[in-house]
Amino acid sequence: MEKPYVFGIDMGGTGTKFGIVDARGNVLKSFSIPTPQYPDIEEYCDVLCTEMKRMAEEFGGMDQVRGVGAGTPNGNYYTGNIEYAPNLPWKGVVPFAKMISERMGVPCRITNDANAAAMGEMTYGAARGMKNFIEITLGTGVGSGIVVDGKVLYGHDGFAGELGHTKIVRGPEARQCGCGAKGCLEAYASATGVARSAKEIVSNSSKETSLRQLDIDRITSYDVFKAAEAGDEVAKEIFDFTGRLLGEKLADFIAFSAPEAIIFFGGLTKSGHWIMDPIEQTMNECVLPIWKNKVKVLVSTLKDSDAAILGASSLVWDVEALSPMKS
């Protein structure tokens, strides 16, 4: 009989969540440890694996566990390494998959966060049954997982799908992005980007807006959402600006991989139609006639709290992807 469980790990700069998952996508139990508390990667792996084994005991022990999947910052699917992740305590190249696999005695596969979300979406979410789609994660940054013919696109080196760092604004007024370049989509369409837009738009206009009552340097995308819901025109304008930039860029993405759908995941999607409507409208204005009103724009149906764990776990359910490790 196939082993019935897998572990999914969602590694972030502040915390590492992990859980044991069954084949139907139920996170049966989850737990978390604070990432920065373990500056020594060996100790981090020891603690993480001790906790996972303890959890496994409640479900019949490691004999019942098929493998471990992890979504990590800068995780490389091909090598199993975490490579030069700026927001993690461990510098350089960390052979994470190997370290976990050795400790757990089962295969471990890793990928980056957005690819994990795409895998989760395909296995358990809005992309079930789809073979060609793009998952865009709108959070602190803008990530993406591109699925082609039912497989995540990794490219020559394992780093494909960095759509947050394609350019949406050119010229001297382009915003500085955290990656070092200017004008990246991430500098506009992330939660942070929306906050920057709010600051710019509020500062550069004299229009009446409830946002002016807030500390302009601490406005969040959630503040803008609340204002839009209350009828604030400037707040609506901020989402419209963001959505239009995203929509323009989606047209480029469609010309690349002709997906069936583009699926949005992450905090900013909670702004609902305020951002989704201008995205979809602008996308359809900008695509080639063959794609007008044909590409679905969807919001993820993955539960926020479990999505990253589920996505990571689905790396292990994928039999084809695991087969090279069976030998």
Nearest CA to 152 among 267, 75, 245, 250? 75
Give the integer Cα–Cα distance in Å for 26 and 236: 37
How far is Cα of residue 164 from the mean position of the Cα atoms in its chain? 11
CB of 288 vs a copy of itself, minimal distance in Å: 5
Of residues 98 and 131, the one with the C-beta less far from a copy of itself: 131
285 to each of 249, 252, 289, 299, how far by Cα in Å?
Answer: 11, 12, 9, 20
Q: Residue numbers of the site for a copy of itself (CB under 8 A)?
A: 83-84, 131-132, 146, 148-149, 151, 153-163, 165-167, 169-170, 179-181, 248, 251-253, 255-260, 286, 288-291, 294
CB of 6 vs a copy of itself, minimal distance in Å: 25
CB of 246 vs a copy of itself, minimal distance in Å: 13
CB of 34 vs a copy of itself, minimal distance in Å: 28
Of residues 28 and 288, the one with the C-beta less far from a copy of itself: 288
In eight-state DSSP terms, residue 174 is P
* Contact status, residue 207 vs residue 233, Cβ threshold 8 Å: yes
Given phi > 0 = left and psi -120 to 50 = alpha, else beta, which region is 77?
alpha
CB of 286 vs a copy of itself, minimal distance in Å: 7
Give the integer Cα–Cα distance in Å for 85 and 72: 9
CB of 156 vs a copy of itself, minimal distance in Å: 4
Of residues 36 and 155, the one with the C-beta less far from a copy of itself: 155
How far is Cα of residue 36 from the mean position of the Cα atoms in its chain? 20
Of residues 170 and 218, the one with the C-beta less far from a copy of itself: 170
Of residues 173 and 215, the one with the C-beta less far from a copy of itself: 173
Of residues 7 and 253, the one with the C-beta less far from a copy of itself: 253
* Contact status, residue 315 vs residue 119, Cβ threshold 8 Å: yes
